[in-house]
Amino acid sequence: MNCKYFKTRKKDNKKERRIYNYCTINRKEITYDNCKKCNKCEIKIKTPMKKRSRKLNMKENNRYSIIYQDLTKCAECGSKIGIEKNEVFEGAYRQTSIKFGMVVPFCKKHHRHFHNDIIFNLKYKVIFQKQFMKNHSLEDFIGIFKQDYIYLLNKRKRG
Ligand SMILES: [Zn+2]
């Protein structure tokens, strides 16, 4: 709860034993829903947005790719319109992708394709895994990205 007047209290006596919510401005019990509707407390403390560090922004702006020299051109179709730089390994591996230059430029259409088509997605992961393995071992790759995408793509293709 973001309201600073919204407290959780505990009744623990002979008659009652329960946990309830209490509003210190209305001086009475309140439910979570009623607190949300109430506008007496103009100071609803908002959960502060986590500020992105300057260092992180720098890193993201300086994204490079170990494969694509020109990051303003879609890797798939060569279009120069609406290009976004995508980390090849998403989620928990986003920052690691940036660190190792696992970045691919896509137009809007192929960006969507990348997220919706598993084979297309794996195809790019494999391209980058192979490039990475020119200077590192498979064990190195799996140590960092926890998967062998070459194996995964082959498995998919075999059905
Ligand atoms: Zn494209």
DSSP state letter for 42: S
- CA of 128 from ligand 1 middle (Å) equals 18
C-alpha 156/C-alpha 159 separation (Å) is 5
Residue 1 has pLDDT above 70, yes or no: no
- CA of 126 from ligand 1 middle (Å) equals 18
pLDDT band per the 50, 70, 90 thresholds, residue 14: confident
- CA of 78 from ligand 1 middle (Å) equals 6
Mean pLDDT on 26-55: 73
Alpha-helical regions (H) of 2-117: 32-37, 54-61, 94-99, 108-116
Mean pLDDT on 115-129: 96
Enter the tokens of residue 91: 């989620």
The rounded Cα 66 to chain-centroid distance in angstroms is 22
C-alpha 65/C-alpha 99 separation (Å) is 10
- CA of 39 from ligand 1 middle (Å) equals 49
CB 72 within 8 A of CB 102: no
Identify which of 52, 118, 101, 56 has the alpha carbon closest to the alpha carbon of residue 85: 101
- CA of 36 from ligand 1 middle (Å) equals 45
CA distance to 6, 24, 33, per residue, from 29 (Å): 9, 9, 12
Q: What is the pLDDT of residue 42?
A: 56
Q: What is the pLDDT of residue 24?
A: 85
Q: 12-26, 42-56, 60-74, 83-97: which has the minimum mean pLDDT?
A: 42-56
- CA of 94 from ligand 1 middle (Å) equals 21
Mean pLDDT on 105-118: 96
131 vs 49, which has greater pLDDT? 131
Surface-to-core class of residue 19, CB atoms within 10 Å of its CB (0-12 exposed, 13-18 middle, 19+ buried): exposed
- CA of 106 from ligand 1 middle (Å) equals 5
